Amino acid sequence: MQLNDRTIVITGGTSGIGQCLARTLRDRRNEVIVLGRAGERLDRMVEEGFATVPCDLGDPSSIETAAHQLAQRWSRVDVLFNNAGVQYNYDLMSEVLPVGRIHREIDIDLSGQILFTQLMLPLLSRSDCAMIVNTTSGLGAYPKADGLVYSAAKAGMRSFTVGLRNVLRSTSIRVLELIPPVT
């Protein structure tokens, strides 16, 4: 698949890998829609000329609202980059992990991306050659001691990617995995 003249949605597109992807893909004549939590970073992407949709992947109602807004504004999506992520570091030996932060980390890094992907399937199905790219992490296979929740969520995202690839095998939607070594 050539990545030009496509409609591309990027979660977590306001910083890091997602922001770099957004800028690079826009420079290749794509329409890039950046999703991120509302705030200054999303506003800066608007100033750079990106279409944006606010979305907090830790909040199912925000995910559903974002998916609805995308369906209202675009007739199809060619590429979905599931790139959002958050990593909280803990010392398991000396502190109790706050349950709320554990849930938030798993929701953003895994559960929210699964829900968002499911809600995007109708728009992706309208493309003659669609692609879902899930950003996982080498830490999903080789966890680091102070990032065990993040590592577990990324391992789950890898399993979701493999399973989704099998489920969508007979469709026009391809599923790929981007594995940065230690993010």
Q: Give residue 173's pLDDT.
A: 98
pTM: 0.95
* Average pLDDT of the residues of the chain: 96
Express as a percent the part of the chain with pLDDT over 90.
91
SS3 47: helix
Mean pLDDT on 59-69: 98
Placement of tokens 């990027």 in the chain: 10
Mean pLDDT on 120-139: 97
Q: How many CB atoms lie within 10 A of CB 61?
A: 8
The full set of domain ranges for the chain reads 7-178
Q: Give residue 3's pLDDT.
A: 82
CA nearest neighbour of 84 among 109, 59, 105: 109
User: So which residues are the catalytic ones?
Assistant: 150
Q: Give residue 92's pLDDT.
A: 87
Mean pLDDT on 56-62: 98
Phi, psi dihedral angles at 123 (to 5 degrees): -70, -40
Model confidence pLDDT, tens digit, residues 9-44: 999 999 999 999 999 999 999 999 999 997 899 999
- What band does 66 get if pLDDT is binned at 50, 70 and 90? very high
Placement of tokens 């559960």 in the chain: 111
* Whole-number CA gyration radius for the chain: 16
Q: Give residue 4's pLDDT.
A: 83
Superfamily of domain 7-178: NAD(P)-binding Rossmann-like Domain (3.40.50.720)
Q: Give residue 106's pLDDT.
A: 98
